[in-house]
Amino acid sequence: MEQVSSNRSHRGTQGVYTHQSCETGTPMTFSVFVPDHAAGAKLPVLWYLSGLTCTHGNVTEKGEFRAACAEHGVIFIAPDTSPRGDDVPDDEAHDFGKGAGFYVDATQAPWSQHFRMRSYIESELPALIAKHFPVDMARQGITGHSMGGHGALTIALRNPNRFRSVSAFAPIVSPLNCPWGEKALGGYLGPDRATWRAYDACALIDDGARLPELLIDQGDADNFLETQLRTSLLEAACARAGQRATIRMQPVYDHSFYFISTFMADHIAWHAQRLHG
């Protein structure tokens, strides 16, 4: 692991790091904010998964999370959204290929060689973080935006004992039932839709996966709401299953970082209450 940059901010240190990933076979970059803390202390960690076209840098520069993380004593980790490099296959569209890993382990050529974001986020990166940073891995939360919200929900639902808290901003809740998801899961996993269910939050809930509770914020002026995000499907799935969920429709907010940054401190406080409890 190599440090790319380090900056003092909000009573903590914002770092960016890179390492050679065994899972993706490429260099991977991620950012970590570590609040000031007592020597030898370990802090809870909040994972943030980013959306389509993003890198680790979008939320790091525009997410406005550091003051809240410093206040509540939470480490904030932002991985990249896909493998990158000249040898990594890509697609001309923004919703497939580089920047659009969808947090899956691809099974279809040519994507299967490098697009292993599920294993990277679930296994490889946590082991690296645990080795190099003052994290208490018994106190983990996860959140994300859009495609990253899809990642946060599905990773948590598949690993219910790992995360004490789960939230999302404008998540893709059912890739089985939206154009982004059908394109990505069909391309990465092939035509058998049964294999897609492990990457669909609504399907996972219908199939019996449960979490203690969920927090979702969604702008009602989001131009992707009706066709791609489809928040109502998650509301229905949670109602059918008795899954506890707070789903807040926020008037006039869109899909941008103006929306995310507005509610970021709320989410961090909500996670901190559960991570420190």
Place of tokens 């394109």: 183
Catalytic residue among 146, 165, 167, 174: 146
123 is catalytic: no
pLDDT, residue 277, reads 80
Contacts of 61 (CB under 8 A, 6+ apart): none
Task: Give all domains of the chain, ordered by start, each with its CATH number.
Answer: 2-275 (3.40.50.1820)
Per the residue annotation, which of 50, 222, 267, 271 is the catalytic one? 222
Its pTM stands at 0.98
Residue 152: the pLDDT is: 98
Question: For 52-77, how does the pLDDT look when each residue is reduced to its tens digit (9 = 90+)?
Answer: 999 999 999 999 999 999 999 999 99
Rounded to whole angstroms, how far apart are CA atoms 34 and 69?
8
Distance between CA 61 and CA 181 in Å, rounded? 27
* Catalytic entry in 56, 72, 150, 255: 255
Residue 1, classed as helix, strand or coil, is coil
Residues in the chain: 277
All residue ranges of the chain with pLDDT < 50 are: none
Helix ranges restricted to H, the chain: 56-62, 66-72, 117-119, 125-132, 147-158, 179-189, 201-206, 231-241, 257-275
Q: Is 222 a catalytic residue?
A: yes
Catalytic residue flag (residue 114)? no
The pLDDT value given to residue 1: 96
The two most distant CA atoms of the chain are separated, in Å, by: 52
Q: Residue 238 has which token pair?
A: 């949670």
